[in-house]
Structures are given as structure tokens and as C-alpha cells.
Amino acid sequence: MISLGKIGALIAFFAIVIGAILVAVYGRANAPGQPIAFSHKIHAGDFKIACEYCHSYARRSTVAGVPSVARCMGCHKVTALDKPEVKKLADYWNRKEAIPWVKIFDQPDFVYFSHEPHVLKGIACQICHGPVEKMEKVREAVVLNMERCVNCHMERKASIDCWTCHK
Ligand code: HEC
Ligand code: HEC
Ligand code: HEC
Ligand code: HEC
Ligand code: HEC
């Protein structure tokens, strides 16, 4: 006979296993594997390269944009050539291929967002994206749901008409 205590222990055991699987799955969903292990901590943190040096459209466009391979090679034709992940970068360059970066912050199609008005108002990247310069791997540290957008729009007296963000 299995005692109730043992059943309880079994249930607790499976709950822990399932919990661990969920953490693994969702943990990865928030910080997906990238084709090259690019570190913001090294580039934007240690070496203090400005965000807009790489995300150069943020100030003048809806998108912030991800840098081209050419932008990376501006430094990596000479920098850290011996590192395996930099060799991968050089392979993309030699094959004339774009790097298929996985997108992390992604709004549904029915949402209209533009970087330009926000960046021009001086809202720091980190307010919407978290302390990216401390991250080895970008994760969705801030969830940009409707409540967060609308709350800031109310605080800052920006438009909260539905059609501002849904057009
Ligand atoms: C007011 C909030 C806000 C600010 C400020 C902001 N972003 Fe974003 N960012 C977003 C949202 C929302 C998305 C997702 C857009 C989408 O999926 O349509 C995004 C997407 C991105 C992306 C993915 C590629 C793209 O362009 O969609 C990058 C890279 C990015 N932001 C970098 C930056 C940088 C660098 C800054 C500062 C110069 C910045 N962001 C400032 C909200 C913000
Ligand atoms: C302005 C110069 C500059 C640009 C632009 C630049 N990097 Fe780097 N990168 C560096 C420096 C400096 C290091 C640190 C070198 C070291 O540790 O010896 C580095 C390190 C690296 C590493 C090695 C990390 C490690 O320790 O294994 C990779 C991978 C890398 N960069 C990828 C990229 C990619 C991808 C891009 C383009 C999106 C890029 N870099 C753009 C300067 C740059
Ligand atoms: C040397 C170039 C470089 C610099 C400097 C840089 N980034 Fe990036 N950024 C990248 C690359 C490459 C990616 C795509 C790979 C990744 O997600 O790590 C990226 C991705 C991102 C994303 C996720 C975009 C998405 O897919 O949703 C955000 C947000 C972001 N960067 C913000 C910043 C902020 C904020 C700074 C300054 C603190 C900054 N970046 C500095 C190259 C750079
Ligand atoms: C931290 C504060 C803040 C957050 C968060 C924020 N916004 Fe804004 N947003 C502003 C401000 C301030 C303006 C007004 C800029 C101006 O007056 O030029 C603005 C303007 C806009 C505009 C342009 C409106 C127009 O009339 O041209 C759009 C579109 C927009 N925001 C969408 C969004 C969406 C979508 C989100 C969430 C994903 C968001 N915003 C999150 C502060 C914010
Ligand atoms: C400042 C930007 C902003 C404004 C203003 C705004 N929304 Fe949204 N809305 C969003 C964003 C971002 C999402 C997607 C993220 C989410 O679901 O929270 C969204 C999602 C939604 C959804 C889908 C909800 C769901 O659960 O999937 C509906 C419906 C919606 N909005 C209706 C409205 C209506 C109606 C108004 C006017 C009263 C409005 N929105 C005003 C930004 C905004």
C-alpha cells in the first residue's frame, strides 16, 4: 500500500519537476539563443559604445534597427579575431550574409509604435528596455503592455486616444 504521505511527496516531486521545465522553457523564451553570442555588457557596458551607434535609426524612424554586419566589422576586422564567436561573425561577413538575430521586444501587428517621438523627448532606452548595458543576453526585462504605455502617456500628457497606438 502507498501511504498518503508518499502520494503527497510524489505530487510535490512532480510539481518541482514541472516547475523546473516551465522555468527552462519560459526562461529561454525571454532570452532566446542568438546566432552569435553578442554581449551588450561588453559593448555598451565595459566599452561604453553608445546605444545609437549601433541602433542608429531610433532617433529618426519607427524602428531602432539592429546594426549591419559591416558596422560590427568596422571594429572586428582588427578586434578580438581569435575569439570563436568573432570568427562566426567573420564567416557571415565573408558569405555576405545578414545575421538572423532573433527579435525580443515584439508588439502585435495591431499596435503602432515609433521610436522617434520617444527618443526625441529624451526618454532613455532603459525606461522601456531595462538596463541592457548590464546584460550578457538581452531579455524582456520590461513588459511593454498597453497599461504601461497608457500610464506613461497619462503621466506625460501624451495622447491616450485609441487610434494613437491602434491604426
Ligand atoms: C517608449 C518606449 C521605448 C523607448 C524609449 C525605446 N524603445 Fe526600443 N522598442 C520599444 C518597443 C515597444 C519595441 C517593439 C516595437 C515593435 O515590435 O513594433 C522596441 C524595439 C526595439 C528594438 C528592436 C528592433 C526594432 O527597431 O524594432 C531595438 C533594437 C530597440 N527597441 C532599441 C532601442 C534603443 C537603442 C533605444 C534608445 C535609443 C530605444 N529602443 C528606446 C520601446 C521603446
Ligand atoms: C566600436 C567597436 C566595436 C563594434 C562596432 C563591435 N564590437 Fe564586438 N567587441 C569590441 C570590443 C572592444 C570587444 C572586446 C574585445 C576583447 O575582449 O578582447 C568586443 C568583443 C566581441 C565579441 C567577443 C566576446 C567574447 O569575449 O567572446 C563578439 C562575439 C563581438 N564583439 C561581436 C560583435 C558584433 C556581432 C558586433 C556588431 C553587432 C560587434 N561586436 C560590434 C568592439 C566592437
Ligand atoms: C556594438 C553594437 C551595439 C550596441 C553598442 C548596442 N546594441 Fe543593442 N543590439 C545589438 C545587436 C547586434 C542586437 C541583436 C542581438 C541581441 O539581441 O543581443 C541588439 C539588440 C538590442 C535589443 C533587443 C532588440 C529586440 O530584438 O527586441 C535592445 C532592446 C537593445 N539592443 C538595446 C540597446 C541599448 C539600450 C543599448 C545601449 C545601452 C544598446 N542596445 C547598445 C547591438 C548593439
Ligand atoms: C516612459 C513614457 C512612455 C512610454 C512607456 C510610452 N510612451 Fe508613447 N509617448 C510618450 C510621450 C511623452 C510621447 C509624446 C511625444 C511628443 O510629444 O512628441 C509619446 C508619443 C507616442 C506616439 C506618437 C503620438 C503622436 O501623437 O504622434 C505613439 C504612437 C506612442 N507614443 C506609442 C506608444 C506605445 C505603443 C507605447 C507602448 C508600447 C508607448 N508609446 C509607451 C511617452 C511614453
Ligand atoms: C499608448 C498606446 C496605447 C493606447 C493609447 C491604447 N492602446 Fe490598446 N494596446 C496597446 C498595446 C501596446 C497593446 C498590446 C499589448 C497588450 O496586449 O497589452 C494593446 C492591446 C489592445 C487590445 C488587445 C488586448 C488583448 O488583451 O490582447 C485591445 C482590444 C486594445 N488595445 C484596445 C484599445 C482601446 C479601445 C484603446 C482606447 C481606449 C486603446 N487600446 C488605447 C497600446 C495602446
Average pLDDT on 90-103 reads 97
41 alpha carbon, closest ligand: 3
The torsion angles phi and psi of 109, rounded to 5 degrees, stand at -60, -25
Say how many C-beta atoms besides its own lie within 10 A of residue 40's C-beta: 20
Percent of the chain past pLDDT 90, that is, above it, reads 80
**Using one digit for the tens of pLDDT, what is the confidence trace for 130-154?**
999 999 999 999 999 999 999 999 9
CA-based nearest residue to 140, from 111, 107, 116: 107
15-24, 38-47, 96-105: lowest mean pLDDT where?
15-24
Burial of residue 103, with CB atoms counted within 10 A of its CB: 0-12 exposed, 13-18 middle, 19 or more buried:
exposed
CB 102 within 8 A of CB 34: yes
C-alpha to C-alpha distance for 165 and 64, rounded to whole angstroms: 17
Helix axes 69-76, 84-94, angle to 10 degrees: 130
How does pLDDT run across 58-87, given as a tens digit for each residue? 999 999 999 999 999 999 999 999 999 999
* pLDDT value of position 33: 87
User: What is the Cα–Cα distance from 147 to 140, expressed in whole angstroms?
Assistant: 16
pLDDT score recorded for residue 26: 44
- Residue 105, ligand 3, Cβ within 6 A: yes
- Rounded to the nearest angstrom, the distance between the alpha carbon of 153 and the centre of ligand 4 is 6
Q: Is the pLDDT of residue 28 over 50?
A: no
Gyration radius (Cα) of the chain, Å? 21
Residue to mutate, 34, 40, 43, 46, ligand 2, most ligand atoms under 8 Å from C-beta: 43
Phi, psi of 86 (to 5 degrees): -75, -30
